[in-house]
Amino acid sequence: MSGRNGVANDDLRKRYEAAFMPNYGVPPLALARGEGSLVWDVDGNVYLDLIAGIAVSSLGHGHPALVEAVSAQTAGLAHTSNLFLHEPEVLLAEKLLELLGADGRVFLSNSGTEANEAALKLAIKYGKAAGRGYFVAAENGFHGRTLGALSLTGKAAIRDPFGPYALDVRFVPYGDADALRAAVTEDCAAVFLEPTQGEAGVVPPPPGYLTAAREICDATGALLVADEIQSAIGRSGTWFAFRHELAAATPDILTLAKGLGGGLPIGACVAFGPHAALFAKGDHGSTFGGNPVGAAAALAVIATIEREGLLGHVTAVGERLGEGIGAIAHPLLAGVRGRGLWRALVLAADRAPAVEAAARDAGFLVNALQPAAVRLAPPLILTHEQARSFVDALPAILDTAAEKEN
């Protein structure tokens, strides 16, 4: 079967394999278009999108507010560089600070890893001024693939091939407050943590862990950096996942990206209090970061979440989705974890790729995140009925995955 312009999945995959570096492998599908939470491949098959471009397409596909904002901004002014300012970036920075409810300053980037690079440079500068020489991050944490962010990433499989690194980064088990307390001294410049570990398999921290991290950093003078690249902008049912625990306090630096632009590339690094002024003129920059189109898209995403009450919707649909999955008794399903519309199916065996393939064959796009964990990060507009359809189909998907592996 072939789609528009006679292009078919198999043909396009062969051309992709021949033309691109092999770092992604060859994706299983060539997508042609989307509408809401549905996408179609070039062969005309339709799927319920339960991964949303790795938690990026927060308003789904083709949302009128995003289309209108991006179209209008592109028609008017698509780029300025950082030699000139523009109103959308100012409005976006002001809006992020309003949502965070704290005094701070914003740096806009192209992506999440670049937001973390900005946070790391702030922490390095802070450390140099204060005589602090090392950093602490969590085992299995993920902060990006550029070399600075990669040095903080606690996944050996992707970190080790490119070491050694210039920074002294010490890794501790995620969720272990005692280990964190032992690792952070007055020589530590900063602690980098995800409020929920994303690439590790959507792993929330135990209650009290983020509060303990805040207290440890306050006691030693180390900066607390919250990596909300994946978790921010409504993914967990709050604007920022750290708010599930740190209602009355903030990290010293916060980074976000993915869902912020709803499909347009944009990230942000926000620093608070005295740390907001650590960068001096010339310390950091980006030609494309926070360009007018990306900023307009982010403003449209935030305005739509507010106008349509999507934070409450995410919480309600996410709870029903989690309860529905949790109620399934299947030998391959060990449980479900996560918050809001950010969940992981926890498997009883290392069969996530088989589950992903079986789900795709059944019309659902999910992500084999770890050998025994499958990620769900659908658009925030996912309906109760769509969530229910996946829950209803899941037992048969698990049956198929189990049979394939056997």
- Amino acid type, 190: A
Which pLDDT score is estimated for 3? Answer: 54
Return the closest-CA partner of residue 247 out of 77, 105, 101, 348: 101
Segments of the chain scoring below 50 in pLDDT: 406
Which pLDDT score is estimated for 7? Answer: 82
The span from the CA of 228 to the CA of 241, in Å, is 7
Q: Is 113 annotated in some ligand binding site?
A: yes
By CB neighbour count within 10 A (0-12 exposed, 13-18 middle, 19+ buried), where does 50 fall? buried
329's tokens: 């008794």
- Cis peptide upstream of residue 395 (ω within 30 degrees of 0): no
Q: pLDDT tens digits for 11-49? A: 999 999 999 999 999 999 999 999 999 999 999 999 999
Q: Is 240 annotated in some ligand binding site?
A: no
Q: Is 145 annotated in some ligand binding site?
A: yes
Which pLDDT score is estimated for 246? Answer: 74
Which pLDDT score is estimated for 160? Answer: 94
Q: Is 383 annotated in some ligand binding site?
A: no
Q: Is 80 annotated in some ligand binding site?
A: no
Q: Is 250 annotated in some ligand binding site?
A: no
Q: pLDDT tens digits for 47-63? A: 999 999 999 999 999 99
Mapped onto helix, strand or coil, the DSSP state of residue 117 is helix
Q: What are the C-alpha distances in Å from 169 to residues 74, 112, 137, 184, 271?
A: 42, 20, 7, 11, 21
The span from the CA of 56 to the CA of 62, in Å, is 13
Q: Is 279 annotated in some ligand binding site?
A: no
Under 8 Å between Cβ of 156 and 169: no
Q: Is 370 annotated in some ligand binding site?
A: no
pTM of the model: 0.95
